[in-house]
Structure 1
Amino acid sequence: MTQVPVDLREIEPGIVQITMQDKEHKNTFSDGLMEGLIRAFAAINANDRYKVVIITGYDSYFASGGTQEALLAIYESKVNFNDTNLYSLALDCRIPVISAMQGHGIGGGFVFGLFADFVVLSKESIYTTNFMKYGFTPGMGATYVLPWKLGIALTQELLLTANNFRGVELEKRGIPFPVLPRAEVLDYALQLARQLAEKPRVSLITLKDHLVSGAREQLPGIIEKEVAMHGKTFHLAEVKDRIMGLFGK
């Protein structure tokens, strides 16, 4: 039986878990993964029992960003990254979201996880905003969520250098998130989810609305600016060469 790219299930009363498990594509944003995520969050927002979401990946992968085909489609002006809104699924979710990033978070995959209300990283995994590795400027709301969550100095290093960082290295840099051995990430997230699930659902929704209202208001303007930067940077011949030669390395 073929495994679905995204599994959604209520693991305890009020706690729902999204597992990204597109092993064929190593949790890059394939059509199946994107469609599964959009359906999962729509189902969560429509369910009045749920109080908290845990989103995680499989094995050593959390989320790996755009596929090579998708990057080439943007290069060829066939699509923009904002044609499919993945970046704000966690931000717009009515209830709190915990990113249990037990595995690698690559490019847009790392950015996607950072939009959650709570983030848990693993010591062993690689986290990178590698857009500039391919020569194009960041998207997915990266230029907003990174300084918001990580601070401007680390953001500049992550975005401009496109370097890889292990979770343990980010921990040493003072990031404000728990960084645990991979095997402990999901358990930690579950314990946190249980604490949240003790609270009244209306109170969780009301407080989240207040805490993220500024981000929800500002993000659309940021996305417009990122798309405009793509108009200047994504269509360079060098970018296509890099996508073809460096993807997955």
Structure 2
Amino acid sequence: MIQSVVDLCEVEPGIVQVTMHDRVHKNTFSQELILGLIKTFETIKANLSYRVVILTGYDSYFASGGTKEGLLAMHNSKVKFDDVNVYSLALDCEIPVIAAMQGHGIGGGFIMGLFADFVILGRENVYTTNFMKYGFTPGMGATYILSKKLGFSLAEELLLNAGNYRGAELEKRGIPFPVLPRQEVMAYALELARQVAEKPRISLITLKNHLVTPIREQLPDVIKQEVKMHEMTFHQAEVKERINRLFGK
């Protein structure tokens, strides 16, 4: 199966790779990318031979968060980020997902990767939760999953500061993920996938479900709170100005 900007390929028996490559939009959450990801994970769910997923991007981009049009639509109250759930596709996937972030992870794109069961970062890449740079509070479950995966202190810093952090800097800060040279990320992910795929599928599904059930149960309330914060912060005139200015660069 090949989507226009999302490829699905069984690279080895039981190991399926999902590659995001919306080169026009640099893997921001365009409609093409969102629909491609949703359809791809539906295909994965229907295939009973798959045991592990590798989710990755192209060149120096993993995923880059909201488009200018999408953010302005939220500013104008035309849509909400929870209208379509792309952020927790990896969490909701029955089988384990490896986020091979061989490229930059920006905003919601970084958060989407953190919902995976395994996370691999590149030393040279930028990772940021830059919601507040645009003047609105974080969404997509960022206020929960970032703290869950990185610890409260670092998560609070990333969310409030909204700065850019290279993988090498996050490695020095002690994040609990492998951080490798960009060109080594995919090879590491494939070897990890081989180790996972050796296990029985039903055992992988059963254990993952047990491990992530608390996250799946708590996330809906977090999303509701983030939507409420958006109602207070997203519609400021300054937010629109920031969106236009930052995308104009």
Q: Is the structural similarity TM-score above 0.5?
A: yes
Measure the CA separation in 1 of the matches of 2:142 and 2:98.
Answer: 18
Measure the CA separation in 2 of the matches of 1:38 and 1:18.
Answer: 11
Name the residue aligned to 2:94. 94
TM-superposed deviation, 1:217: 0.3
3-state DSSP of counterpart to 1:23: coil
3-state DSSP of counterpart to 1:244: helix
- Equivalent positions of 1:23-34 (< 5 A) are 23-34=23-34
3-state DSSP of counterpart to 1:58: coil
Letter in 1 for 2:13: P
TM-score (normalizing by structure 1): 0.98
Q: RMSD over aligned Cα, in angstroms?
A: 1.1
Structure 1 gap segments, 5+ residues each: none
Letter in 2 for 1:68: K
> Are positions 1:151 and 2:151 aligned together?
yes
> Are positions 1:130 and 2:130 aligned together?
yes
3-state DSSP of counterpart to 2:53: strand
TM-superposed deviation, 1:8: 0.4
Letter in 1 for 2:71: L
Deviations 1:27-79 (A, max 9, x none): 00000000000001111011100000000000000000000000000000000
Measure the CA separation in 2 of the matches of 1:94 and 1:42.
Answer: 11
Name the residue aligned to 1:16. 16
Measure the CA separation in 2 of the matches of 1:248 and 1:140.
Answer: 24
Measure the CA separation in 1 of the matches of 2:202 and 2:142.
Answer: 30
3-state DSSP of counterpart to 1:70: helix
Deviations 1:182-232 (A, max 9, x none): 000000000000000000000000000000000000000000000000000
After superposition, the Cα gap between the structure-2 partners of 1:235 and 1:95, relative to the gap in structure 1 and judged at 3 Å, is same
Measure the CA separation in 2 of the matches of 1:202 and 1:97.
Answer: 15
Letter in 2 for 1:210: H
TM-superposed deviation, 1:247: 2.2
3-state DSSP of counterpart to 2:143: helix
How many corresponding residue pairs?
A: 248
Measure the CA separation in 2 of the matches of 1:8 and 1:42.
Answer: 11
Structure 2 gap segments, 5+ residues each: none
Measure the CA separation in 2 of the matches of 1:52 and 1:245.
Answer: 40
Measure the CA separation in 1 of the matches of 2:165 and 2:207.
Answer: 33
Name the residue aligned to 1:71. 71
Letter in 2 for 1:73: A
Name the residue aligned to 1:41. 41
- Equivalent positions of 1:1-249 (< 5 A) are 4-247=4-247, 249=249
Measure the CA separation in 2 of the matches of 1:158 and 1:147.
Answer: 10
3-state DSSP of counterpart to 1:24: coil
Measure the CA separation in 1 of the matches of 2:35 and 2:21.
Answer: 13
Measure the CA separation in 1 of the matches of 2:153 and 2:3.
Answer: 41
TM-score (normalizing by structure 2): 0.98
After superposition, the Cα gap between the structure-2 partners of 1:211 and 1:3, relative to the gap in structure 1 and judged at 3 Å, is closer
TM-superposed deviation, 1:3: 8.1
TM-superposed deviation, 1:246: 1.1
3-state DSSP of counterpart to 1:9: strand
Runs of 4+ with >2 A deviation: none
Measure the CA separation in 2 of the matches of 1:115 and 1:5.
Answer: 21
Measure the CA separation in 1 of the matches of 2:103 and 2:87.
Answer: 18
3-state DSSP of counterpart to 1:199: coil
Measure the CA separation in 2 of the matches of 1:130 and 1:163.
Answer: 6
Contact 2:3 2:36 in 1 (8 A): no
3-state DSSP of counterpart to 1:54: strand
